[in-house]
Amino acid sequence: MLQSAPPIISRAIRSPRILAVFIFTLIFLGSSTFSFYQLGWVPDSNIFYPPTNNKHGESTSPAPPDAHVDAPGNPNPVQDLTETQPVAESQQDSLADDVNPFRQTIQYFKDFEFKQHPYQHSFGDQGARTKVVRNWLIASQATADPRTQQTLSQAVEEAIQILYPFMRKPPANPDSSAPLADLRSTYEPGSTGIVITAGDPIVRFAAHLIVSIRSVLRSNLPIQVFYGGDADLSPAKRKWLSSLVEFGPPLEFVDITTQFDQSTLQFDKAHGGWAMKPFAMLASRFEKVILLDADAVLLQTPEAFFSHPAFLRSGALLFHDRLLWKGGFKGRHDWWKENIKTPGPQLAKSLVWTEEYAEEGDSGVIVLDKGRVDVLMGLLHICWQNSFPVRESITYKITYGDKESYWFGLELTGAGYEFEKHYGAMLGWEHDIDTDHHEDEEQKEGEEKGEDPNKNKTRICSFTIAHLDEEDKLLWYNGGLLKNKLLKDMEDVYEVPNKWMVDAEWIKGNKKEAFSCMRGGPEEVHDITDWERTLLESFIERAKWVDESYKTLG
């Protein structure tokens, strides 16, 4: 075999340095379907050929041996990635052997860059390419040899700028040749914090959240508020938010337009508020970061997210949406399965994946450890899905906003992640179903016969989706403190929810502003605790104080 192996492999037997790099590459490719073809190596040749793709973006066999770019008489297009200073003539051949595999793969990324609509078939391939770059990055961090580290690091930086255009020309340093390394250098090792994206239209709800964290939960975690320029969150609103903080470190404000080149992002266009969220996580100085929607309500301190066993195990804690509309979105599922050929352990047990329910993720809270390379690379894919051309042509057309992009990006790049144990729960009030809700066919047929098959079941209704911790205690819910934030005539109506239910049947309101319900037996209904009631009453009291201050802004 060694006689037909590429020079980098045969030389690895004699060079501990190269052997270490090659072993790391093999170990960390992270796929059960790994083969030498994924490295681009064609057996019985002395060069690495990038795999080719069919029209659907699916990998096919590598280029044939007669395409060998180093054949006698043909010019060699391979550039030496490490040639930042003169290299002795005696070293040039061996150095080129080390670099060729990376250079060939980078050229393939460049030649077949995903830069035009349609992107529909490129999500899986983008993930596969990112896995390769991830392994280069891991190998670069593992080697002690400066030349090997430089070779790998430069390969990573060039590949990242091809795969993720928003990483090119960062406003702070447009001429940087290492934007990923520059970005990672801003992460404070071991740091933890909260990120909230807020614009003028939702600043009231962001204020409710910030005051609840600081004044009621008494959390010292630093908070960064991201916004898209003065037109998004005005200086006056920023000053007002800062004035509300009575405890802990002051708020930090970050203009996302100063962090990334906006040409492929366009947060000022349609759906920019959703799209900004993963980029805020990427740009945050915190290594471990909690992303909170402005209408999130925390029923435990935010520090609880960082101690959640699922986060400690995987570095990425996600939360499920409601189980709704089984079999109702075939096109969405076909697309997911076109891009995911072999589901990972989390997805393999997903009811959305196995039974084709409509929606998997609730993106009101996302918790990531960017210090883990696999999670960071998954976050890059998530951001790509939310870049302007991709989100407007595919992501937000096939799914609803940013919500499915988090698990999808982590899954496609082979990153570790875990969901909460349960699908979305209901926190609200006991309620009679009315005409604002969809009833199932069994209910309708029973009523026509004078029977009610659900007469012994209880319905808990509200405008929220609740989530539990590992011990089945309420952790947080979305929808805000208002009883129904979407109704104009209820914009000042607060009420403490008193009951919750999980793992029962969802009944979706037939209008966006209508309550939804969960229906189950009496044994499935839980009362909130006295402590939770007191906490929510305190939140509401402080929210009303915020509202009075908000009205003075005009």
Average pLDDT over residues 518-543: 96
What SS3 state is found at 128? helix
Please indicate, yes or no, whether residues 143 and 205 belong to a single structural domain of this protein: no
Q: What is the pLDDT of residue 523?
A: 86
**pLDDT, tens digit (0-9, with 9 covering 90-100), for 466-493:** 999 999 999 999 999 999 998 888 999 9
| Residue 291 confidence (pLDDT) | 99
Report whether pLDDT(82) > 70.
no
Distance (Å, whole) CA 253 – CA 273: 16
Number of neighbours of residue 76 by Cβ within 10 angstroms: 12
Percent of residues, the chain, with pLDDT higher than 90? 68
DSSP string, 269-308: STTHHHHHHHHHHHH-SEEEEEEE-TT-EESS-THHHHT-
Residue-averaged pLDDT of the chain: 83
Beta bridge partners of 419: 318
Domain boundary among 136, 163, 190: 163
- Say whether both 450 and 320 belong to one domain: no
> In terms of domains, do 411 and 440 share one?
no
Taking phi over 0 as left and psi of -120 to 50 as alpha, with beta for the rest, 145 belongs to: beta
Predicted confidence at residue 554, as pLDDT, reads 73
pLDDT digits (tens, 9 = 90+) for 147-186: 989 999 999 999 999 999 999 999 999 999 999 999 999 9
- Residue 338 predicted with pLDDT over 90: yes
pLDDT for the residue numbered 510: 81
Domain edge (last residue) among 163, 195, 226 = 163
Q: How many domains does the chain have?
A: 3
Q: Which of 7-11, 106-110, 401-405 has the lowest mean pLDDT?
A: 7-11
Q: Does residue 332 sit in the same domain as residue 445? A: no
The amino acid present at 268, given as its one-letter code, is: D
Q: Are 75 and 143 within one domain?
A: yes
The range of the structural domain enclosing residue 370 comes to 181-419
Residue 174 lies in a domain: no
Instruction: List, for residues 289-312, the tens digit of each pLDDT value.
Output: 999 999 999 999 999 999 999 999
What's the confidence (pLDDT) of residue 520? Answer: 93
Report yes or no on 1 lying in a domain. Answer: no
Among the listed ranges 70-84, 143-157, 300-314, 334-348, which one has the minimum average pLDDT value?
A: 70-84
Is 464 a member of any domain?
yes
pLDDT in tens, 384-404: 999 999 999 999 999 999 999
Q: Cα(301)–Cα(458) distance, rounded to whole angstroms?
A: 30
Query: Which one of 393, 419, 445 terminates a domain?
Result: 419
Per the rule left: phi > 0, alpha: psi between -120 and 50, beta: everything else, 226 is beta
Same domain, 187 and 336: yes
Residue 168 falls within a domain, yes or no?
no
Q: What is the CATH number of the domain that holds 402?
A: 3.90.550
Q: Tell me: the pLDDT tens digits for 15-70?
A: 455 445 454 454 444 433 333 334 433 333 333 334 444 434 444 433 333 333 33
- Quote the pLDDT of residue 88: 43
Signed CA dihedral, 283, 284, 286, 292: sign only: negative
- Specify if 145 maps to a domain: yes
Which of the residue ranges 266-270, 342-346, 494-498 would you say has the lowest mean pLDDT? Answer: 266-270
Tokens of 275: 């799209």
pLDDT band at 101 (very low <50, low <70, confident <90, very high): confident
E strand or H helix at 210: helix 203-211
Q: Which pLDDT band, with edges at 50, 70 and 90, does 451 fall under?
A: low
User: Of 103-112, 269-278, 390-399, 419-428, which range is least confident?
Assistant: 103-112
Is residue 200 domain-shared with residue 318, that is, in the same domain?
A: yes
pLDDT in tens, 124-140: 999 999 999 999 999 99
Q: What is the mean predicted confidence (pLDDT) over 91-101?
A: 51
What percent of the chain clears pLDDT 70, i.e. is strictly above it?
77
Would you state the pLDDT for residue 449? 53
b/e 440-477 (16+ beta carbons within 10 angstroms → b): eeebeebeeeeeeebeebbbbbbbbbbbbbeeeebbbb
* pLDDT for 530 beyond 90: yes
pLDDT surpassing 80 at residue 209? yes
pLDDT at 331 over 80: yes
